[in-house]
């Protein structure tokens, strides 16, 4: 079961899909910027995080800045990270 997530003092820019996506996850956002993404902030399911901090700036995204009832597909498992090659 997902837990709460705290996002503070972060910037999300030029993401193909969404700057931030919370799927059935609570928590809070403070001093977050999200711009030049397809979606700035997507909230879907319950619980939802508290994103009301006046220092959050979510603007200038191609699709929607804030989607409070999103329906984006989310993988059941985390994506595998590529393995970095050994340095020469």
- Residue 80: what pLDDT? 86
3-state secondary structure of 87: coil
pTM over 0.85: no
For the chain, the C-alpha Rg in angstroms (whole number) is 14
User: Residue 83 corresponds to which tokens in the numbers above?
Assistant: 């393995």
Question: Does residue 78 sit within a domain?
Answer: no
Question: Does residue 17 sit within a domain?
Answer: yes
Question: Does residue 75 sit within a domain?
Answer: no
What does the pLDDT profile of the chain (88 residues) look like in tens digits?
467 999 999 999 999 999 999 999 999 999 999 999 999 999 999 999 999 999 999 999 999 999 999 999 988 887 788 898 998 8
User: Residue 42 corresponds to which tokens in the numbers above?
Assistant: 């997507």
- Scored b (16 or more CB within 10 A) or e, 9-19 reads eeebeebeebb
- Residue 2: what pLDDT? 60
Question: Does residue 44 sit within a domain?
Answer: yes
Question: Does residue 81 sit within a domain?
Answer: no
Question: Does residue 52 sit within a domain?
Answer: yes
Number of structural domains, the chain? 1
What is the residue range of 50's domain?
5-67
Question: Does residue 31 sit within a domain?
Answer: yes
């Amino acid at each position: 079961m997902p837990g709460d997530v705290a996002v503070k003092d972060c910037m999300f820019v030029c993401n193909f899909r969404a700057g931030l996506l919370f799927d059935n996850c609570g928590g809070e956002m403070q001093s977050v910027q999200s711009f030049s993404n397809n979606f700035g902030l997507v909230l879907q399911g319950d619980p939802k995080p508290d994103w009301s901090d006046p220092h959050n700036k979510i603007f200038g995204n191609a699709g929607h800045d804030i989607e409070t009832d999103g329906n984006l597909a989310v993988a059941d498992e985390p994506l595998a990270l590529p393995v970095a090659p050994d340095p020469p």
